[in-house]
Amino acid sequence: MSDDDTSRSESQPSYRVLGCATEHPSHLFPVRTPFNQRSFDALNRTGVDLDVVSPTPYAPPVGPFSEYRHVPKTERWGSYEVHYPRFLYALPKRYFYHVSGNSMRKRLTRYVEQTFDTPHDVVQACGFYLDGYGTLEYCRRHDVPLVALSHAGDLKNFDRFNDTVQSQIRETIDYASAVLTVSDELADVARGFTTADKVTTLPIGEDPEKYPTDRREAIRAELGIDPDTKLLLYVGRFEKEKGVKELVSALGALDREDVSVVAVGHGGALRWWFLDELGKLSHPAHAYWELDPIAVRRLHVAADLLVLPSHFEARPTVIYEAMAAETPVLASNVGGIPEMVVDGETGVLIPPHDPGALTEALDYLLDDPARLRTMGAAGLRRLVDNEWTWTRHAERMNEIHREVIDA
C-alpha cells in the first residue's frame, strides 16, 4: 500500500463486520480451512470492528461426531475472537442439508442479536451455503448488506444439492450485494447465477516473509534430507478428488533412487488407504496429519517440487504457499490452477486423471534441479507482481465492503 493509500485508509472511519465461517479452525480442528481464518485476521488488521461466528453442530452423545462437544464457546484466533454458536446438523446430508441450513439461520440470528451490538454495517460470509444462507434472516431483519466469498464448493457442487438447498443458494445470491470468487474460472460459474456486475474475483494469497527460504539447506539438514535427494511434497486432503490415486500410481512407476516423498493431510476418506500405499513405495515416504502451519511452511521451503494432481480446484491455497516458498508446482490444468501456474515458467501443468503424464513430468523435472530452482524463483516473482498476499486481499475486501455499505 502506498503512503497516500495508507493516509486515506487511516482517515476513513472504521465500520462493523459480522464474519461467518462454518468452516473455521478451533482447538478441536486446528488446521481446518485455514484460509478463512487468515482472511478474517488480515481484514481485522485493516482496522475494522470485526465479530466472527463459526456455527458448530450440536454434538450427539455417542459416535464419530460426539467429539464436537469439545468445540469451545469462544476462542481467540489471531487478532480476533471467534464465537461457536450451536445448530442442528441433520444427517444424511444428501437428504437433510436444508434442515441444517434452516436451523443455522434461525439459531444464528438469535445468537448474534443477543451477543453483539446490532446491526453490523456488513456481513462477510465464507460461502453461500451454509454461511451466507445462515446469515440471511439477520441481514434482512436489520437491512444489512451481505458479501459472500466462494471457494468453489457451493457453486461447483450446485447440481448435487437437493431442490430446496438449490433454492436457498439462489435466494442467498439474489440478496447478496457482492458475489466474490477466488478465481476467474469460478467467477464465470458465478455469472450463471447472477448479473455480471455483482461478481468480482478476489484472490486469496500468502505472505512470502513467513517462509524462511534463506534457511533452505539448514531446514533440509534438520529434516534429514540428503542434498542430492529430490523432495516431492503433497499437501491437501487425502481423497479421490485430490488425485491421490493417480499420485500413488505415478510414484510407483517412477524408476529412480533420488526421490523422497512427504504428504501432509487434514481430512479425506482415503486417509488409511493412502498411507498404506505410500508405505509400499520403493521411495522413502512420510505422511503427516493435521500438521501445524509453521511446520508446513518449512516443508514447502525444503521441497524441490509441489505435486497436486487434483481433479478440480478453484485456486488452491497450497499453490500460493509453494510460490511464497520459491517451490515450483506440478499440477493438473483444472479450474483456476492455470491462472496461478504459468506452464513451463513457474511449474508444469498436466491433464487430470493421467498417472502416466504425471510420471513423465516428474522424471522430466527431477532431471534438471537448476530448472526447478529457476521455476521456483519465477513463482515467487509472480506472487509478488500480482499482489497475491493476505495484506492485499484484505485491502480489496475492505474496498468492496465500503462500496456496498455506501450503495
pLDDT at 13 (0 to 100): 64
Provide the Cα torsion 282, 288, 293, 295; round to 10°: -60
CB 344 within 8 A of CB 296: no
Tens digits of residue pLDDT in 126-174: 999 999 999 999 999 999 999 999 998 889 899 999 999 999 999 999 9
Mean per-residue pLDDT for 221-242?
96
pLDDT tier at 4, thresholds 50, 70, 90: very low
Task: Tell me: pLDDT of 393 over 90.
Answer: yes
Q: Is 192 exposed, middle or buried (0-12, 13-18, 19+ CB in 10 A)?
A: exposed
Tens digits of residue pLDDT in 29-41: 999 999 999 999 9
pLDDT at 11 (0 to 100): 52
pLDDT at 64 (0 to 100): 85
pLDDT tier at 402, thresholds 50, 70, 90: very high
Provide the Cα torsion 396, 122, 39, 112; round to 10°: 180
pLDDT at 12 (0 to 100): 63
**Which tops the pLDDT comparison, 62 or 11?**
62
Top CATH class, 8-205+389-406: alpha beta
pLDDT tier at 9, thresholds 50, 70, 90: very low
Tens digits of residue pLDDT in 64-75: 899 999 999 999
Mean per-residue pLDDT for 327-341?
98
Task: Tell me: pLDDT of 5 over 70.
Answer: no
pLDDT at 153 (0 to 100): 82
pLDDT at 2 (0 to 100): 45
Residues 6 or more apart whose CB falls under 8 angstroms from that of 197 comprise none
CATH among 3.40.1160.10, 3.40.50.720, 3.90.340.10, 3.40.50.2000 for 208-385? 3.40.50.2000
pLDDT tier at 280, thresholds 50, 70, 90: very high
Strand 199-201 relative to strand 285-289, pairing = unpaired
Residue with cell 480451512: 33
A 10 A CB-CB count for 338 gives 16
Mean per-residue pLDDT for 185-204?
97
Domain boundaries, the chain: 8-205+389-406, 208-385
Domains 8-205+389-406 and 208-385 fall in the same CATH topology: yes
pLDDT at 6 (0 to 100): 47
A 10 A CB-CB count for 217 gives 12
- Average pLDDT value for the chain: 95
Task: Tell me: pLDDT of 1 over 90.
Answer: no
pLDDT at 337 (0 to 100): 98
Mean per-residue pLDDT for 201-210?
97
The percentage of the chain sitting over the pLDDT mark of 70, rounded to a whole number, equals 97
Task: Tell me: pLDDT of 305 over 60.
Answer: yes
Task: Tell me: pLDDT of 90 over 50.
Answer: yes
